[in-house]
Amino acid sequence: MKKLIAVSVMLILIAGLLAACGNEAAPTPPAAGKTAEAASNAQHVEAVSSSGSKQPTQEQQPTVEKPTVDDQIEQATSAENEKVEEGIELIKAKVTKAVDGDTVYVKLESGKEEKVRFIGVDTPESTTKVEPYGKEATAYTKSKLLGKDVWLELDVQERDKYGRLLAYVWLSPPTKESDEEIRTKMFNAVLLLEGYAQVMTVPPNVKYAEYFREYQQEAREKNAGLWGLEAKEEKPASSQAVSVSYIGNKNSKKFHLPDCQWAKKISPANRVYFKSRNEAIKAGYMPCKVCRP
């Protein structure tokens, strides 16, 4: 009986020892709040480990301001002003027909058709009558402008007495008002430089008059175009040697003696010959105040 009691006591002691060991090894479960915080920290550590750097929070992100509509309009306007000098207003059009050297028909972007007369220049006639170099001037204008886009610049007076639109014709928009831009991009100037036209200044449209006079002088010195034509004076027989006594100017409507300094400056395209003083006056010409014919 004593042995049985001793064995039972031993078993109870062993069981107690085993229970104590089990409780010591089991981990104490964390509180719910601490578990969530630990998980968040673990995710943060994982993000740092994978990227190698700390990711900025929403508050740390740099603020980028988007341009407003007004800003965009201002930028577009500034870009446009870089292409066309401020103060030069242009009307885009397409040339549909060449009437002669200094007159064309155009169609505006609105669809309206206009007859345009070039400001400051005059080419020889080739319509109701044909003057020397008139056909050449018409053919040149047609070859350069027909079917092409042009940019029209108006001056003080927009139309002449015939209702035609008066314009400087730009082959491409100018970036500034300069000699180089005018002589290479403005068709009015090109006609003068190539000798297809003469200067015809009609106030108040005189914006480029000084340039035009310079270009005409260059053409005359080079004998370009109509300036290279020889005066086709009649060579009458000896019995009619005095049949040509006076030379008139179609532009000024004045007539001169053949040896007058002003008669010598009349271009071949503008010369008119008269046999008598009375004939010149009847034709509507006034006598020169210098040579007094």
Annotated active-site residue in 114, 125, 153, 181: 125
CATH at 201:
2.40.50.90
Please state the pTM of the whole predicted model: 0.55
Distance, in Å, from the CA atom of 164 to the CA atom of 274, rounded to the nearest integer, reads 33
Return the exposure string of 132-150: e unless at least 16 CB atoms fall within 10 Å of the residue's CB, then b: bbbebbbebbbebbeeeeb
The answer to whether residue 165 sits within a structural domain is yes
Number of structural domains the chain divides into: 2
Shared domain check, 223 and 97: yes
Shared domain check, 182 and 245: no
Residue 117 designated active-site: yes
Question: Which residues constitute the domain of residue 245?
Answer: 238-287
Shared domain check, 112 and 181: yes
CA-to-CA separations, 10 to 13, 14, 15, 223, in angstroms, rounded? 5, 6, 9, 140
Contacting residues for 165 by C-beta, under 8 A, at least 6 apart: 114, 115, 116, 117, 152, 154, 158, 159
Residue 109 designated active-site: no
**pLDDT one digit per residue (tens) for the chain, 293 residues:** 556 666 666 777 776 666 655 555 445 445 444 444 544 454 544 444 444 444 444 455 555 455 444 454 344 434 444 445 556 899 999 999 999 999 999 999 999 999 999 999 999 998 888 889 999 999 999 999 999 999 999 999 999 999 999 999 999 999 989 999 999 999 999 999 999 999 999 999 999 999 999 999 999 999 999 999 853 444 444 433 345 688 999 888 888 888 888 888 888 878 888 888 888 888 888 888 888 88
Annotated active-site residue in 37, 86, 113, 164: 164
Shared domain check, 128 and 214: yes
Q: Which of 196, 228, 260 is the last residue of a domain?
A: 228
Shared domain check, 223 and 96: yes
Residue 125 designated active-site: yes
* 3-state SS assignment for residue 260: coil
Shared domain check, 251 and 145: no
